[in-house]
Amino acid sequence: MNLPVTTPASPELDLSLGLPAALDGRDGTNRARGEHLQIAADSDVEAVRLWLAEYAGSPHTLRSYRKEAVRLLLWATRTLGKPLSSLTREDFLLYEQFLAAPAGDWADPARPRRSTARRLFDGPLSARSRHQALGIVSGLLSYLVSAGYLAGNPLALRRRTGAVARRTRRVERYLDHALWDHILASIEQWPRLTARDHQHYERGRWLIRLLYHTGLRVSEAANAKAADFYQRRGNWWLHVVGKGGAEGEVPVSAALMEDLARYRVFNGLAPTPSGNETAAAVMSVAGNLHKHLTPAAVYLIVKEIFRRAAVVLEASDPDGAATLRLASTHWLRHTAASHQADAGTDLRFIQKNMRHASIQTTGIYLHAEDDERHTNTVRDPDPR
């Protein structure tokens, strides 16, 4: 007897898509029929829901992955009349073409963003967005293969040359040293006339430094606890739980520990965190010591910091102001890695600090090397 598949209660795990019963995947041509099924799911929707449940602790990732899963499920059943578990490599070639030009109801602005009749696209996806979408879907298929639900992953046959080529390009979404210095100076001009103003200033001042000096992702900063800071052999470290629950540790400078002490004292805590306290590393907007910010709140605070800095810079450096208005939290992660590389930090150490799986990914931050090559190659014409 098959028991019902249960997953943690969450709106993001709701996949009530109204798919035809004949296309639920129970008879999919790519279904594995062996005896080593690792999940109880017997339909594509149930299997996808279990995959999504693995990311329940990462709300931003969960929303992104759910979006791609819903798009694929609806496209396969509506356009091809196939369940997900019957898709072939040829089908995914068609899907990639579809992502580049979704037409009709798929991107109809008159349709709502929710309900079964909603639109799923704002327009064609860029090459980068298509690559990301197919990477997410490939992860889903690989999970279902490992779970014994699918016989194979059609996207495993996809050529990787384009992705590798893109990874060798230098990252451009980062702040140069002058813009970073301007941001720090701009924050010091924030008003502190009321208790609420002062609280907002101290939180913003600490958060921007935390993100820059540690290279944390937005969700990692939101979930960080004061107890995650610990000392070993006289040096301070930050324990981080990253993507997929992967654990790592990031070195913490004495300067950042001083900034943490200042923030904690302002909030009525001891300067140095202890290993058994429950306070958040960055406290909620309401000032609750034990309530974490949400990733969305971290994002909005950082955007506000950039916006205010852009206003100050507008008259003297409009290009710099425009860059700040485009910047987001992830730019600080890129900035951290880029500035570490500029300072001559060993690439292996930067890889560990950023927790990159491949050192090739870390190599995209070597801007100083490119600057030196450009300076020594391109010289002013001889003034004769």
Residue 261: CATH number of its domain: 1.10.443.10
- Has residue 8 got a pLDDT over 50? no
Q: Which residue has the tokens 């790519």?
A: 30
Report the chain's mean pLDDT, rounded to a whole number. Answer: 81
Q: Is the pLDDT of residue 310 over 90?
A: yes
Lowest mean pLDDT among 206-210, 287-291, 349-353, 358-362: 358-362
Percent of the chain topping pLDDT 70: 80
190 and 296 both lie in a single domain: yes
Residues 147 and 197 in one domain: no
Instruction: Say if residue 61 is in the same domain as residue 202.
Output: no
Kindly state whether residue 285 falls inside one of the protein's structural domains. Answer: yes
Evaluate whether residue 170 is within a structural domain.
Answer: no
Which structural domain, as residue segments, surrounds residue 247? Answer: 177-370
Q: 109 pLDDT band (50/70/90 cuts)?
A: low
- In the predicted model, is pLDDT for residue 164 greater than 70? no
Give 289's pLDDT tier (boundaries 50, 70, 90).
confident
Digit-coded pLDDT (tens) for 73-102? 999 998 999 999 999 999 999 999 999 888
- Over 67-97, what HEC string results? HHHHHHHHHHHHHHCCCHHHCCHHHHHHHHH
Distance separating alpha carbons of residues 70 and 241, to the nearest angstrom: 27
Per-residue pLDDT band at 262 (split at 50, 70, 90)? very high
Query: What's at 247, amino acid-wise?
Result: E
Please say whether the beta carbons of 73 and 84 come within 8 A.
yes
φ/ψ bin of 115: left (φ > 0), alpha (ψ from -120 to 50), beta (otherwise): left
How far, in Å, CA of 355 to CA of 362, rounded?
Answer: 9
Candidates 55, 53, 1, 48; CA nearest to 25 is 48
Three-state SS string over 188-216 comes to CCCCCCCHHHHHHHHHHHHHHHHHHHHCC
pLDDT at 44: 92
User: Residue 62 domain-assigned?
Assistant: yes
- Residue 263 confidence (pLDDT): 95
Do both 215 and 349 map to the same domain? yes
Bigger pLDDT: 375 vs 155: 155
Q: Is residue 165 part of a domain?
A: no
Q: What is the pLDDT of residue 18?
A: 74
Within a domain: 81: yes
**What pLDDT does 349 receive?**
83
Question: Considering only 246-255, 311-320, 374-383, which range has the smallest mean pLDDT?
Answer: 374-383
Question: What is the rounded CA–CA span in Å between residue 168 and residue 75?
Answer: 33
Provide mean pLDDT across the span 300-307: 94
* Domain shared by 154 and 181, yes or no: no
Whether pTM > 0.85 for this model: the answer is: no
Q: How confident is the model at residue 374 (pLDDT cuts 50, 70, 90)?
A: very low
CB atoms inside a 10 Å sphere around CB 275: 10
Query: Can you give the pLDDT at residue 93?
Result: 93
- Sorted by sequence, the CB contacts under 8 Å of residue 246 that are 6+ apart come out as 355
CA 193 from centroid of its chain's CA atoms = 35
Strands (E), the chain: 229-232, 235-241, 247-252
3 state DSSP class of 345: coil
In the beta sheet, which residues pair with residue 292?
Answer: 283
Number of folded domains in the chain?
2
Which stretch of 9-13, 171-175, 209-213, 259-263 has the lowest confidence by average pLDDT?
9-13
Q: What is the pLDDT of residue 14?
A: 57
Position 278 pLDDT exceeds 80: yes
Could you tell me which of 184, 233, 171, 243 has the C-alpha nearest to residue 211? 184
Together in a domain, 352 and 316? yes
Identity of residue 9: A
Each residue's pLDDT tens digit, 191-200: 999 989 999 9
Q: Is the pLDDT reported for residue 256 higher than 90?
A: yes
Is residue 153 located within the same domain as residue 182?
Answer: no
- pLDDT given for residue 56 in this prediction: 80
The one-letter code for the residue type at 61 is T
Q: 351 and 238 in one domain? A: yes
Considering the domain architecture, whether residues 130 and 194 belong to the same structural domain is answered as: no
- Looking at the structure, tell me whether residues 342 and 236 fall in a common domain: yes
| One domain, residues 83 and 186 | no
Q: What is the pLDDT of residue 378?
A: 45
Mean pLDDT of 146-173: 69
